[in-house]
Structure 1
Amino acid sequence: MIFKTPRLMIAALSGGAGKTLVSLGLAAAWRRRLGLSVVPFKKGPDYIDAGWLAMSADHPCYNLDPFLMGPRDILGSFVRRSHGADVALIEGNRGLYDGVDADGTCSSAELSKLLKAPVVLVLDATKMTRTAAALVLGCRTLDPLVNLSAVILNRVAGARHERVLRDSVERVNGVPVVGVLPKERENLFPERHMGLVPPQEHGRLTEAVARLGEKIEAHVDVERLYEMARRSEPMGWPAFGGCDGASRPTACGVRIGVLRDGAFQFYYPENLETLQELGAELVVIDSMRASHLPDLDALYVGGGFPETHLVQIAGNDRFRASVREAIEAGLPVYAECGGLMFLSRGIRAGGRLHPMVGVLPFEVQMARKPQGHGYTVLETVKDNPFFSRGGVLRGHEFHYSRVVNVTGSLDFAFRLKKGCGVLEGWDGVCYKNVLASYSHLHACGQKEWAEGVVRAAVRYRSRKAAVSGTVLPAPEASEVKAL
């Protein structure tokens, strides 16, 4: 079978050049002007841009990362999730050729070749004219296998500036300029740290997306870009496996709680979908409004910005107490970054200590600069409820907090081969059936993650049933083998 879904990658020369705003506006414009169904993808480990893309496309945004996933995982997930759509829109990250080493390994360029996706280069033209042509030329010739199909000029000062830029880029490169975006005085998309403010915290969400779509419609040839996407080279249909939708035995009936609210919002949709495909029922919980933790077989607490909601989280004493009681009773809990902060004794910010769940023997201090940022490689050195000893995991971290005021010793599951973690060289704090780490994992690259979470939930459910005398339905034979 041949995969023919139209696809297009939006890339740039560097971070901050405007590719996210172009991607958001293009998704909105394609939907509004052409009536297209758009499936968005974000290259790299990113939650916030992906959240905005999902809003703009009115469809979940999925992540594709050559460091976290193998080529088969990427192709399988991409084909499965974009099949049947009118177009797949992929937003690159950083510069087109930027990767983890001098060869650009894991770059947007490499991803574009794997997906056979035409590339549109967004170029920040601030204070330059013909140099723009040289920059495009460099991107075109560095790797001729990259299909650089068009250029969008951003932050153009006026008509004369546009004319010189357009003429030089097109004459030198033979690549069309399909859009020219003027400098803007009003910023509808404020930033925090090194990215946009999450959509959950934006006060003018619908207006911002709508206005950006109108801007792209007015200044970019969206029809021509769709035609470029339609000319994508067909590719063979990959063999499915794991996160890409292969048939896997399931353990039905387990209830896995997911803290999902303004504070905890960093979840890859693939992670949640994979848990469901393995038979789990997901129970969404608001940490600031729920009065207690419902009856669960496991709890998944992702990342986010708990530091922006400290008063509300700390003020919900009953809920925090119910989480603590469930953990002491043996509830399996998998926590990432913000989840680790939530399970600590408290978070120090603004000169105050805000109490948290209190099952991990340390506090967390907010800092002004990143305390960990980038990819991580973790060797599992201790058996725990989710991973067996001896495995190696790939993840990523980005946190402005650090662990302080540790009382007693910490029991670590992971020795870091790359990254910062909780303490130098270590990550993954264990307590009873809790595993709390600064690293985020992606289910498409680390298939053992979802199976480990569901396996822990099955064990806990069986234990609860044994204590209460409840008779559970007998699992299928293949179920037990898989989990």
Structure 2
Amino acid sequence: MNVSREKVPGVVIAGLRGGSGKTIISLGITAAWRSRNITVAPFKKGPDYIDAGWLSRAAGRPCYNLDTYLCAQSVVQNSYITHSQSCDVALIEGNRGLFDGIDIDGTTSTSELAKLLDLPVVLVLDCTKSTRTMAAVLMGCMRFDPGVNICGVILNRLAGKRHEGKIRANIEHFCNIPVLGALPKLKQEDFPERHMGLVTSEEHGESDASLTRARQVTLDNIDIDELFRLATSFKGQGMPVVDNARQGAVPEINTKENQNPVINKSTVTIGVVRDSAFQFYYPDNIEALENLGAKIEFISPLSQSDIPDVDAIYMGGGFPETHATQLSNNHVFKENLKTLSRKGLPIYAECGGLIFLGDSICLDNVVYPMAGILPLRFGLSRRPQGHGYTEVEVVNENPFYTMGEVLRGHEFRYSNVISIDYENTAMAFKMTRGKGIIEKKDGFFKDNTFGTYTHIHALGSTSTSWAPALIAKARQFKASRQ
């Protein structure tokens, strides 16, 4: 890892819990700075795709996820440095509460990320039905971990000026922390929620208008000039040096296939299924394929019938259930995909992509046929059926992973498996953390088609084999047709 490049200043926007309003505030700040010709590098802490999509739209540039569960700390540091180099300031939206992590030490928490990147924190306080207690809560956060530099707070969901005045006075008196802004309660229709997060920006009918509204609310209620000054004048201790070996970092993707100069001369085309139904992709995953010589061609089963000439297909997650009618009615695309799968075209699908590969999805007692490649029939529940980080062990021979590999990822789904026809040897993964498809198993494959509920990050310290494996399979398939 190279950390000798100058680190761009930044700020972490954190909350006391999920749903405190930090996403809308992060979007508003990003859009407001951008309107002042400040170039913002957006980042999302954790594995979330939806917030990252909105932040990307607000900033006008890709938003990268920073996750110390999926990736080694050195990789996270390098991602921050690399993807903020051409910017004036970086903004990292936290997730959950400031100190929430996977264990009692707060590992993987927003606070630990702020320390890892040596950045100040602005804390969003949901002030609903509370006044003086907000000062006590803030004081507790300041003392809980003095290594976290809370440089300011933004008050959210205020009932009025009197409410704001009381909280400001208490925070400034007891905590000696600047209040950088105070927002009233906003209307939900500006940013409606689905499941546990915002509706994706691709699906929101008025996404640009909503971002304009968030920008104006921010300009009216937050001192973005003072916030920029605090972020850019922060003098930290410098990024801590992490032990790459201990972290299990793999700084560069490499395989035997990748080293073969003859094979490397062969460019392959990877079809990436991306539209409003399938939009959950880490930019790092697409870039990992491109860095190994792949040409990316985007495909949409919502708007296309024919599948272009590709050497492999990567299907990400999303919300196919909200587009079930369109997907079900595109018979030509489904049949073409099924035919290609039978011919051995490498297909790798995650979550929503897995659903599309199945036989059907049942919504409100209506069955919508899908591609029919994998013998799975899905339904949709009102409660999460899988939510959180995963860890899987590769226990069966399969097209993409080596026996014995241990991979880290995450799953987020409301879909459930109604029925499935499979043999144990057709499930590549045994879940050591998470739910998977059925009975703690995941990674259902047939021929060169592979579907899983586990999302992986291509730069993850345990999943750097993914991109080379997909490229190698694509090259094999291309060679078989020549």
Q: Alpha-carbon deviation of 1:430?
A: 1.1
Q: Which of the numbers 67, 70, 74 marks the counterpart of 2:69?
A: 67
In structure 2, the partner of 1:422 is 437
Looking at structure 2, the residues matched to 25 and 244 of structure 1 have their Cα atoms a distance apart, in angstroms, of: 35
2:11 aligned with 1:8:
yes
Instruction: State whether structure 2 residue 466 is matched by structure 1 residue 449.
Output: yes
For residues 302 and 186 of structure 1, do their structure 2 counterparts lie closer, same or farther at Cα, with a shift above 3 Å needed?
closer
For structure 1, the residue ranges without an aligned partner over 5 or more in a row are 466-483
| Cα distance between partner residues in 1 of 2:130 and 2:335 | 58
State the Cα deviation string for residues 231-271 of structure 1 (Å, max 9, x = none): 24374698998678999865651010111111111111111
Structure 1 residue 84 displacement after superposition: 2.1
CA offsets per residue over residues 347-386 of structure 1, 9 Å max, x none?
1112121111111112111111111111100001122221
3-state SS, counterpart of residue 96 of structure 2: coil
Asked if structure 1 preserves the Cα contact closer than 8 Å seen for 2:254 and 2:468, the reply is no
Normalised by the size of structure 1, how large is the TM-score? 0.93
Query: CA separation in 2, counterparts of 1:11 and 1:341?
Result: 34
Partner residue in 1 for 2:59? 57
Q: Percent identity?
A: 46
- Following TM superposition, by how much is the alpha carbon of 1:151 offset from its aligned partner in structure 2, in angstroms? 0.4
Amino acid paired to 2:475: V
- The runs of 5 or more residues in structure 2 that have no matched partner are none
Q: Deviations over 1:116-136 (max 9, x none)?
A: 010000000011111000110
Q: Aligned partners of 2:146, 2:472: CA distance in 1, in Å?
A: 47
CA distance in 1, matches of 2:392, 2:188: 43
1:181 aligns with 2:183: yes
Contact 1:251 1:458 in 2 (8 A): no
Q: What aligned pairs does 1:435-474 form with structure 2 within 5 A after superposition? A: 435-445=450-460, 446-465=463-482
CA–CA separation in structure 2 for the residues paired with 1:121 and 1:98: 14
SS across alignment from 2:420: coil
Higher deviation after alignment, 289-298 or 277-286: 289-298
Q: Residues 320-362 of structure 1, C-alpha deviation per residue, up to 9 Å, x if partnerless?
A: 0000000000011111001110011111112121111111112
Describe the SS at the equivalent of 2:17. Answer: coil
Question: Residues 336 and 437 of structure 1 are in contact (CA less than 8 Å); yes or no, is this contact kept in structure 2?
Answer: yes
How far apart are residue 40 of structure 1 and its match?
A: 0.3
1:157 Cα shift?
1.3
Alpha-carbon deviations, 1:414-472, whole Å to 9, x = none? 0000000000211000100111100100112121111111111112112222xxxxxxx
Distance 1:101 1:359, change over 3 A: same
Counterpart for residue 481 of structure 1: none
Aligned length: 464
Q: Do 1:252 and 1:280's aligned partners in 2 also have CA atoms closer than 8 Å?
A: no
Q: In structure 1, which of residues 393, 400, 409 is the aligned counterpart of residue 423 of structure 2?
A: 409
Shift of 1:313: 0.5
Q: Distance in 2 between matches of 1:237 and 1:84?
A: 22
- 1:325 maps onto 2:306 in alignment: no
In structure 2, do the counterparts of structure 1 residues 252 and 148 end up closer, same or farther at CA, with 3 Å as the change threshold? farther
Deviation (angstroms), 1:41: 0.2
Aligned to 2:293: 279
Q: Which residue of 2 aligns with 1:141?
A: 143
Residue 227 (1) aligns with residue 244 (2): no
Call closer, same or farther: CA 1:36–1:290 in 2, change over 3 Å: same
1:458 maps to a residue whose letter is R
Separation of aligned partners in 2, 1:428 and 1:89: 35
Would the alpha carbon gap of residues 30 and 238 (structure 1) be closer, same or farther in structure 2, given more than 3 Å must change? farther
Q: Give the secondary-structure state (helix, strand or coil) at the position aligned to 1:122.
A: strand
Q: Which amino acid aligns with 1:86?
A: D
Relative distance call for 1:243 and 1:55 in structure 2 (3 A) is farther
Q: Is the 8 A contact 2:121 2:149 kept in 1?
A: yes
Q: For 1:4 and 1:419, locate their aligned partners in 2 and report how far apart those are by CA, in whole Å.
A: 36
Distance 1:37 1:392, change over 3 A: same
Q: Is the 8 A contact 1:342 1:356 kept in 2?
A: yes
Corresponding letter in the other structure for 1:45 = P
Separation in 1, partners of 2:383, 2:162: 41
Alignment partners' CA distance in 1, 2:254 and 2:174? 47
Secondary structure of the corresponding residue to residue 189 of structure 2: coil
Local SS of the residue matching 1:453 = helix
Q: Is the CA contact (8 Å cut-off) linking 2:253 and 2:464 kept in structure 1?
A: no
CA distance in 1, matches of 2:189, 2:305: 38
* Alignment partners' CA distance in 1, 2:74 and 2:307: 38
Partner of 1:434: 449
- TM superposition shift of 1:393: 0.2
> Is this contact kept in 1: 2:380–2:414, CA < 8 A?
yes
* Separation of aligned partners in 1, 2:79 and 2:265: 22
Given that residues 243 and 447 in structure 1 are in contact (C-alpha distance below 8 angstroms), is that contact kept between their aligned partners in structure 2? no
Q: TM-score, normalised by structure 2?
A: 0.93
